[in-house]
Amino acid sequence: MSETAGGGESGGATGAGQDPEGDNEPPHQAPPLPEGDDFEVGATLDEGATLPAKRPRISEEEQGLEQVVEMLGETPAQVVLLQEGPASPPQRTGEPKQCVEEGQVREEVSVSGEGEEEWPQNGDVGHDAPTEEGEAKPEDGPNGDGSADSPSEAQCVGLDFTQNPQMLTGSCTEFSNLPENYLKGCKWAPDGSCILTNSADNVLRVYNLPPEIYSYNWDLLPEMSPVLRMAEGDTIYDYCWYPKMNSLDADTCFLASSSRDNPVHLWDAFYGKVRASFRPYNHLDELTAAHSLCFSPDGSKLYCGFDKTVRVFYTDRPGRDCEEWPTVVKKQGQSGIISCFGFSPCQSVYACGSYSRCAGLYSCQDGSQLALLPTRHHGGLTHLLFSPDGNYLYTGGRKDPEILCWDLRDPGKVLFSLKRNVATNQRIYFDLDPSGRYLLSGDTGGVVSVWDTLTAPPNGDEELLQPQLRFNAHWDCTNGISIHPFMPLLATSSGQRQFPSPGESDSEGEGGEAVMSPQEIRQDNALSLWWAGPLAPAPEGGPEPSTEVVEA
Would you give per-residue pLDDT tens digits along the chain (552 residues)? 444 333 333 333 333 333 333 333 343 444 444 444 444 444 444 444 444 534 444 444 444 444 444 444 443 333 333 333 444 444 444 444 444 444 443 333 333 333 334 434 333 433 343 344 334 343 333 333 433 333 344 444 689 999 999 999 999 999 988 888 999 999 999 999 999 999 999 999 999 998 888 777 787 788 999 999 999 999 999 999 999 999 999 999 999 999 999 999 999 999 999 999 999 999 899 999 999 999 999 999 999 999 999 999 999 999 999 999 999 999 999 999 999 999 999 999 999 999 999 999 999 999 999 999 999 999 999 999 999 999 999 999 999 999 999 999 998 899 999 999 999 999 999 999 999 999 999 999 999 999 999 998 877 677 899 999 999 999 999 999 999 999 999 999 999 887 665 554 444 444 444 444 444 556 789 999 999 998 645 444 444 444 455 544
Q: Distance between CA atoms of 131 and 151, rounded to whole angstroms?
A: 8
Does an H or E element contain 67, and which? helix 62-71
Sign of CA dihedral 23, 530, 485, 183: negative
Predicted TM-score (pTM) of the model is: 0.70
Contacting residues for 115 by C-beta, under 8 A, at least 6 apart: none
Residues 325-361 as b/e (b if ≥16 CB within 10 A, e otherwise) read bebeeeeeebebbbbbbbbbbbbebbbbbbbbbbbbb
Q: Distance between CA atoms of 99 and 224, rounded to whole angstroms?
A: 37
* Per-residue pLDDT at 127: 39
Domains of the chain and any CATH numbers? 166-497+523-531 (2.130.10.10)
With vertex at residue 487, the alpha carbon angle to CA 482 and CA 488, rounded to the nearest 5 degrees, is 70
Task: State how beta strands 381-386 and 392-397 pair.
Answer: antiparallel
In angstroms, the Cα distances linking 276 to 12, 39, 256, 261, 315 are 24, 7, 10, 17, 9
Contact 309, 338 (CB under 8 A): yes
Q: Which amino acid is at 443?
A: D
CB hemisphere CA count around 122 (13 angstroms): 14
Q: Distance between CA atoms of 456 and 415, rounded to whole angstroms?
A: 8
In angstroms, the Cα distances linking 15 to 195, 206, 276 are 16, 11, 17
Does an H or E element contain 79, and which? helix 78-81
- SS3 at position 340: strand
Q: Distance between CA atoms of 33 and 51, rounded to whole angstroms?
A: 11
* Per-residue pLDDT at 304: 98
In angstroms, the Cα distances linking 336 to 100, 401, 422 are 34, 21, 21
* Per-residue pLDDT at 157: 67
* Per-residue pLDDT at 176: 84
CB hemisphere CA count around 66 (13 angstroms): 10
Does an H or E element contain 361, and which? strand 359-363
Q: Distance between CA atoms of 207 and 229, rounded to whole angstroms?
A: 9
In angstroms, the Cα distances linking 410 to 1, 94, 140, 252, 392 are 42, 12, 29, 37, 10
Contact 157, 488 (CB under 8 A): yes
Contacting residues for 134 by C-beta, under 8 A, at least 6 apart: none
Q: Distance between CA atoms of 60 and 206, rounded to whole angstroms?
A: 23
Does an H or E element contain 71, and which? helix 62-71
Residue 410 has phi, psi (to 5 degrees) of: -135, 75
Q: Distance between CA atoms of 474 and 433, rounded to whole angstroms?
A: 21
Task: State how beta strands 301-306 and 447-452 pair.
Answer: unpaired
The CA-to-CA distance between both ends of the chain, in Å, stands at 38
Q: Which amino acid is at 470?
A: R
